Chain A
């Protein structure tokens, strides 16, 4: 028996005036996978996801979800997917239970079934104590969890998560990750967009990197990180240190080309393994190269981007103040 792909999209295109927001993206997601779509704000992640979720018309290309054509049978697609966006889309005037009742009944579940499902989901998401409180009193994390619960009430086989943890504190974020893993254990397929490399790394089996509406890379998290080195050694050389010598030394020890910020004595060294940091520093000491500070950082999305596209995430189309924010997050 061959299994149909959960998502099979070819050459998706969506333009907004002059801007080609999605410019020929192919995606193939197998059943039971967590597939990450990684990219900065404005890269076209959300637009692509909205097209797959029938919220935006597909201009060119074709998409199938479990073999059902998205453009031709949107009503069928809506019965197969759950979608949770960046902004909680639940009803502020209703309680948590009432929200789940609303969405369950709208999708034709029987009253008793909705009640049972709501109880189960609220317990699963740690919301049982808030079940009868109006959403207006909910924290951001609680809203997000309720939002996801609302997407799960009919147990759809495919869940779209659009930046599920943007704006959440680290603890709530960890809880969200656990929840997403449980979904897959239940037999769900998950497509998630994120601007955090570590999130894609933690969750996704495969990642597509999107930039300016195009897919620039696809692979497992390890493959992706290998393209930039696993982490980066950041060294501040002393003012009188010989930068040229330092560079040669780094090349010899790590086999990789360091990135020097001209004039400031700052050097970034991509590392395949963290051990290499020690080798580089010992080499500096033996060669008499003085340093002021050292820092080992995991690769940032910026670096992945630079490695893949030759330009930083911040000069992508319509990018933003968030760049600084996610660089911080990843480190």
Chain B
């Protein structure tokens, strides 16, 4: 009966839909999101994150300014001291900067997630029939764009200064792909920090504390042979060193060495540990 009534007070063009049928709605419900639904929810969340990136271009500062500035700065300041001249330092330096920028970029993932979680819209996400991983994984998928920009710009800046990667186009593309995957995997650590920390500032502080030793106590900027023994021992097991070495092997020689394997193994371990931890801790916020 209510399907045919058009209230005279309704504004022109108001469409009357068939009445809502609760019994049918109950029959349509499902106990949980299927895998396909979950993937689609993650992609919708990624779409949201991309929209936000486009509206807040200052979010791109870290992935644009840092690679450009650091590449030039490190090359000209340390080039002579470490390798005799700038050109011969570049094959050592550029993969190091790639690793460093990608790591800094994934730190931003955690900070932004924390900021996002404090906004009202997250209240709605919680009340929606959406897989709990979607609000976390969505922004991370969108961040792939940022890793791509960061890694791509570093190589581009290197090329401008005079870097001629021996691995050719394929080698460099391989190095970029590896850097992106690593960044994405490690971002789960920072996502987890984002879900446990009290506020965005804490996330930033905690992340810095993890990042600085990891990037600087690695072979990113200097040859390991120049370090004292105890430090060299740490640097050799530091996962960032594996990433840097793997990136060098790919970009400079186009060879897939065991370093690539170690890097991928580390990444998988990080995902297996921190993705479930993040989802668990995010649930607790409900």
Chain B nearest CB from A48 CB (Å) reads 15
The reply to whether the CB of A288 lies closer than 8 angstroms to some CB of chain B is no
Interface centre among A88, A187, A188 (most CB of B within 10 A): A187
Binds A, one of B121-129, B190-198, B202-210, B271-279: B121-129
Q: How many residues on B have C-beta within 8 angstroms of the other chain's C-beta atoms?
A: 45
Interface string of A147-173 (1 = CB under 8 A from B): 000100001111000000000000000
Q: Which residue of A lies closest to B125 (CB)?
A: A106
Binds A, one of B9-17, B101-109, B143-151: B9-17
**A93–B2 CA distance with the chains assembled, in angstroms:** 38
Q: Which residue of A lies closest to B121 (CB)?
A: A91
Selected from A55, A105, A157, A189, the residue in CB contact (under 8 A) with B127 is A55
Q: Chain A residues with Cβ under 8 A from B11's Cβ?
A: 123-124
The reply to whether the CB of B44 lies closer than 8 angstroms to some CB of chain A is yes
**A66–B27 CA distance with the chains assembled, in angstroms:** 10
By the criterion CB–CB under 8 Å, are A106 and B41 in contact?
yes
Chain B nearest CB from A2 CB (Å) reads 11
8 Å CB contacts to A: which residues of B79-138? 119-130, 134
Chain B nearest CB from A78 CB (Å) reads 4
By the criterion CB–CB under 8 Å, are A157 and B126 in contact?
no
The reply to whether the CB of A282 lies closer than 8 angstroms to some CB of chain B is no
The reply to whether the CB of B226 lies closer than 8 angstroms to some CB of chain A is no
**A24–B131 CA distance with the chains assembled, in angstroms:** 31
**A186–B2 CA distance with the chains assembled, in angstroms:** 7
Q: Chain A residues with Cβ under 8 A from B13's Cβ?
A: 123
Chain B nearest CB from A192 CB (Å) reads 16
By the criterion CB–CB under 8 Å, are B127 and A68 in contact?
no
By the criterion CB–CB under 8 Å, are A78 and B127 in contact?
yes
Q: Chain B residues with Cβ under 8 A from A88's Cβ?
A: 120
By the criterion CB–CB under 8 Å, are B14 and A124 in contact?
yes
**A156–B51 CA distance with the chains assembled, in angstroms:** 27
Q: Chain B residues with Cβ under 8 A from A90's Cβ?
A: 120-121, 124
Q: Chain A residues with Cβ under 8 A from B128's Cβ?
A: 78, 103, 106-107
Q: Which residue of B lies closest to A92 (CB)?
A: B119
Interface string of B1-24 (1 = CB under 8 A from A): 010000100010111010111110
Selected from B20, B56, B121, the residue in CB contact (under 8 A) with A157 is B20
Q: How large is the interface on A (under 10, 10 to 19, 20 to 34, 35 or more residues)?
A: 35 or more
The reply to whether the CB of A237 lies closer than 8 angstroms to some CB of chain B is no
Chain A nearest CB from B74 CB (Å) reads 35
**A59–B252 CA distance with the chains assembled, in angstroms:** 61
By the criterion CB–CB under 8 Å, are A80 and B33 in contact?
no
Interface string of A63-81 (1 = CB under 8 A from B): 0001110000101101111
Q: Chain A residues with Cβ under 8 A from B33's Cβ?
A: 75
By the criterion CB–CB under 8 Å, are B25 and A107 in contact?
no
Selected from A76, A93, A187, the residue in CB contact (under 8 A) with B20 is A187
**A38–B48 CA distance with the chains assembled, in angstroms:** 37
By the criterion CB–CB under 8 Å, are A189 and B40 in contact?
no
By the criterion CB–CB under 8 Å, are B55 and A93 in contact?
yes
Contact A89:B20 (CB < 8 A) given known A54-B127, A102-B44, A107-B130: no
Chain A nearest CB from B36 CB (Å) reads 10
By the criterion CB–CB under 8 Å, are B127 and A66 in contact?
no
Chain A nearest CB from B146 CB (Å) reads 17
Q: Which residue of A lies closest to B24 (CB)?
A: A157
Interface string of A1-18 (1 = CB under 8 A from B): 000101000000000000
Interface string of A262-297 (1 = CB under 8 A from B): 000000000000000000000000000000000000
Residues of A within 8 A of B (CB): 4, 6, 31, 53-56, 66-68, 73, 75-76, 78-81, 83, 85, 87-94, 98, 102-103, 105-108, 120, 123-124, 134, 150, 155-158, 185-189
**Would you list the 4 A-B pairs with minimal beta carbon distance, nearest first?**
A187-B20, A187-B19, A78-B129, A157-B22
Known: A31-B22, A75-B29, A79-B129. 11 other contacts (CB 8 A): A55-B126, A56-B286, A68-B26, A78-B130, A80-B22, A80-B26, A87-B123, A90-B121, A123-B11, A155-B20, A156-B20
A sample of 26 cross-chain residue pairs with beta-carbon separation below 8 angstroms, ordered by A number, consists of A6-B22, A31-B22, A56-B286, A75-B32, A76-B129, A81-B127, A85-B123, A88-B120, A89-B120, A89-B124, A90-B120, A91-B121, A92-B119, A93-B55, A94-B48, A98-B51, A105-B40, A107-B130, A134-B55, A155-B20, A156-B25, A186-B17, A187-B2, A187-B20, A187-B21, A189-B22
